[in-house]
Chains A and B, each alone.
Chain A
Amino acid sequence: MFLDSLADRLPVLAAYYAGKNAAQFADFAVSAGPRGIYEFLTLNKWLRPWGGPHREDSDMKNLVLGRNPAYGAIAARSLTYIAYYVFNVFKEMRRKPDLFVWHEDLISPEIFHAMGLVPFLVEAIPIIMPNINSEFTEHYIDVAENSGYPGDTCTLPKTAIGMALDDAFPPPKAIVTSNSPCDGGMASYAVMEEKYKVPVFRLDLPYNFGEKRAQEYYLREIKRLIAWLEEVYSVKMDYDRLKEVCEERNKMWTYTMDLWDLQRSSPAPMGGEAMVYGHLSFPLGSGTKEGTRLMKDLLRLAHRSVERDGGGIKDERHRAVLWNPPPLVFPEMFVWMEQEFGAITVMDMLTFRRNQWIDTSNEDVMLRDLARTLSYGPMAQHTRGPCENFFDDLFYLYESFSADMIIMAAHKGCKNTGALMGMFKELCRRRSIPLLVFEYDLSDTRYMSPEGIRRQVSDFMENIMGERR
């Protein structure tokens, strides 16, 4: 509590971030011992070299220091949770090496936690790495491309492929993946399977996943997954534990809904990458106490932001909805837009999710609701199925979050959404919605530099939104 308020009053990234992380790392170091630390470093080649600004114009401190105290603290707290997750996974993995399971980023970990397994979200490092070390990310992208994988595949699964081929990860005992979010993601697991030669289970989400028969089919897929896990890991699913985990998740969801309510009003308490990374806590740790604690903290800080600090930005001139993931290579984009144009991104595709409540009254409905929760996961629900799934939520959010512009981060590796750009522009035109489409590559600055992204955003903000720099 003391540390939290210290961070609020004195927004010092190092004190809060390093302090919280030092505690995590110390906890890990004590349990691992020197041998464990050595193993940790050797198994995780991606850790060296670590840290330090990676682009000449990188300005990560601005994410915290460039914002009002509570908003800055939200940004720091979100990043802190991710660091905690990484240390915790490796601590658990050392403790229970036979129960280590890899999973893809759109499968949340409730089932794994209920079975006492140690889940590791494969894309976590590929998501975080471009934020903090672009040279290293580019190294892994090159490894994948030099091994014959295509240059146009999305750089997120490509970074994961490169890391796997370069033995940068501790190897899995088994892998759980799905057909979400897209072909590139799906295909990358074929490479993992060939590389590690471990059992792989794939969840197959139907096209019209909202329909009753599709939900029933997916429930059977979930049951098949559980049976498979029981066999591969020789542990039984504990349904009482699953109930606890789902109820913990429901608590987390309640805080989240309250947070979004605050977001709906003006001024919004926070937004941008802080919001996206904060909500990564769902795939990383929904159903865990630490995950719930994070959302509770974010809600508390959001209240403080609105009540004490006058909102995320005091002079809120524009509210944007972001569609597609935010640029991993340029997280500073959002604080720059806030400072430069008074534009705050209040809601986005990776944050927004529906149908997340799990009825735990009995095993059947619990599994049914869990299946539904997974099928409506962020991004997956928008990229699967027909294009109505992509557009309906977007326009709903535009209205209900009182936005005045839409930002589409047109990542070049996203074939799925790239094929909807024509329609996107026409639909926005019809509704007179200002639409910014900027082109770039999610994880690779060699295609489009942050300066290039800034130029595209400035052109739009000046010419369409009437802002002067």
Chain B
Amino acid sequence: MLNRKTEPLDHPFLNVVSGLNNEYISSARSGGKKAIGFFCSYVPRELLDAAGLVPYRMRAPNNTGTDVADTYLGQFNCSYTRCVLESILDDSLDFIDGYVFVASCDHLRRLYDNVRYLVKPDLCHILDLPHKTHDDAVDWYTEELHILRDNIEQSLGNKIRDDDIVGSIKRTNELRTVLSKIQELRKIDEPKLTGEEMHRIMVGINSTPADVAIEQLKEIYEKLEERDPPRGYRARLLIMGSQMDDPAYIAAMEEMGGLVVGDAFCEGSIQFAEMVDEDEEPLRALATRYVRKLSCPRMFEGFKERYGRIADAVSEYRADGVVIEPMKFCDTWNIDAQLFVNRFRDDHIEVLKLEREYMLSGVGQLRTRVQAFIEMMGK
């Protein structure tokens, strides 16, 4: 069992996840900036940032039910979309001034349709992300980003110059560089932070402006260097999945002795840390990086490459096993997850497939499965 005497990492940035809104967004908004919600890791936050907007990865924690959302989105739809819609409709997300979607999957496309129908925000844009990564697809997505830029300028009046975008790319890259330094501290024999702490940091990064996050991360890095590493874990785990923003989920796993050292999910550090080319024409650079980053199973030709990158991450982070946690009702991820399980088994990589809903429930059941998995690995 994890030694609970380990001093938790104490830094205010780790508490951003506790609420929907936070002081950084509030102060940005009182300074005249708008906060724009996005739903998918394929939205280039640099473009929103360059427009003087605060990009906010949509979350809906603390939802007690989705009764209203369920009348619009069906009972067999992704619980992330239903919870977010519920929060949008009950005004708990009223600090968000507009939305940028990606046509990532059926559920998010329909969330976009329902948000337009029910809310009619000033900015409600959907990016048409191709399912392939060839050069024509990158060209296409570059044009899509031009169209988004025009839409922002028209709907919100925020002018975006090329220099602004270049500056934003540099800033976000700087954030990525600091993040990578923290990632290195997880690859070592005694990782300096738990997966839960890292997840809190990631949610913080996705809920605050880049310049704020950079400063916070620098402070956190210094604390980490001095800190005693967490002790008492029995196994190192890498997690794979889609949208996850409730650190309690990872905490429940870690309580059973499995330290999460690598996070390959939508808001995870592995994906986020991939850099944007600063020398390329800025919108093209963004399109290239976003279309070709560690992909999601909705990119339909990416299986082999994605498997390779995850298998590499398993080695890099020296994970003993992988936990795949696809969201229930997600055909894209659930079918892909089984293919991954089959491949992992062929390659003798230990894997646990968990079914999950966006709202954490059945913690006892989660703990049992993770504990059994760790025991199964002989750890």
Pick the contact of A387 from B81, B113, B303 — CB < 8 Å?
Answer: B113
Chain B 69-82 interface mask (CB, 8 Å, partner A; 1/0): 00111111110010
Asked if A420 and B331 sit within 8 Å, CB to CB, the answer is no
CA distance A150 to B355 in the complex (A): 10
Closest Cβ neighbor of A421 among chain B residues: B74
The listed residue (A188, A412, A423) touching B72 by CB distance below 8 A is A423
- Chain B contacts of A419 at CB under 8 A? 72-74, 77, 81, 106-107, 110-111, 113-114
Residues of B within 8 A of A188 (CB): 335
Residue contact B110 to A148, C-beta cutoff 8 Å = no
Which residue of B is nearest A427, CB measured?
Answer: B117
A194 within 8 A of B: yes
Of residues 148 to 195 in A, which have CB atoms within 8 Å of B's CB atoms? 148-150, 152-154, 179, 182-184, 186-191, 193-194
Partner of A423 from B117, B131, B334 at Cβ < 8 Å: B117
Does chain B have a CB within 8 A of A220? yes
Q: A190-B339, A419-B73 are in contact. Are A387 and B110 (CB under 8 A)?
A: yes
> CA separation between A418 and B329, bound complex, in Å?
12
- Interface presence of A204 (CB below 8 A): yes
A190 to B353, CA, bound (A): 18
Q: Is the CB of B113 within 8 A of A184?
A: no
B224 in contact (CB, < 8 A): no
Report the number of A-B residue pairs with Cβ-Cβ less than 8 Å. Answer: 126
Q: Flag whether A55 is at the interface (Cβ < 8 A).
A: no
Contact B341–A418 (Cβ < 8 Å): no
Closest to A388 in B: B113
Q: How far apart sit A272 and B258, CA to CA, in the bound complex (Å)? A: 57
CA distance A354 to B246 in the complex (A): 46
Q: Are A183 and B105 in contact (CB under 8 A)?
A: yes
A-side contacts of B335, CB under 8 Å: 149-150, 153, 184, 187-188, 190-191
- Known contacts: A150-B335, A190-B335, A420-B113. The answer to whether A206 contacts B303 by CB under 8 A is no
Q: Mark B329-370, 1 if CB is under 8 A from A, else 0.
A: 111101110110110000000000100000000000000000
Contact of A208 with B73 at beta-carbon distance under 8 Å, contacts A149-B334, A191-B339 already known: no
Alpha-carbon separation in the docked complex, A70 to B140 (Å): 51
Interface check B156, CB cutoff 8 A: no
With A202-B301, A415-B329 already in contact, the answer to whether A422 and B114 are too (CB < 8 A) is yes
For the complex, give the distance between the alpha carbons of A194 and B297 in Å: 14
Q: In angstroms, how far is the closest chain B Cβ from the Cβ of A316?
A: 33
> Closest CB-CB distance, A152 to chain B, in whole Å?
6
Q: Is the CB of A187 within 8 A of B332?
A: yes
**Closest CB in chain B relative to A208 CB, distance in Å:** 7
Q: Are A190 and B336 in contact (CB under 8 A)?
A: yes
By a CB distance below 8 angstroms, the chain B residues around A460 are: none
Beyond known contacts A189-B300, A217-B140, A415-B329: 15 more, CB 8 A cutoff: A150-B329, A150-B335, A152-B76, A152-B331, A154-B331, A179-B131, A187-B332, A191-B339, A208-B128, A220-B136, A386-B113, A415-B78, A416-B106, A420-B110, A422-B71
User: Which B residues lie at the A interface, using CB under 8 A?
Assistant: 71-78, 81, 103, 105-107, 109-114, 117, 126, 128, 130-132, 136-137, 140, 143, 297-298, 300-301, 303, 328-332, 334-336, 338-339, 341-342, 353
Q: List 27 A-B contacts (CB under 8 A).
A: A148-B341, A150-B331, A153-B335, A179-B131, A179-B300, A183-B105, A183-B330, A184-B335, A186-B332, A190-B335, A191-B335, A202-B301, A206-B128, A207-B126, A208-B128, A213-B143, A214-B128, A386-B126, A415-B76, A415-B78, A415-B107, A416-B106, A419-B77, A419-B81, A419-B113, A421-B74, A422-B114
Chain A interface residues (CB < 8 Å from chain B): 147-150, 152-154, 179, 182-184, 186-191, 193-194, 202, 204, 206-208, 213-214, 217, 220, 386-387, 412-413, 415-416, 418-423
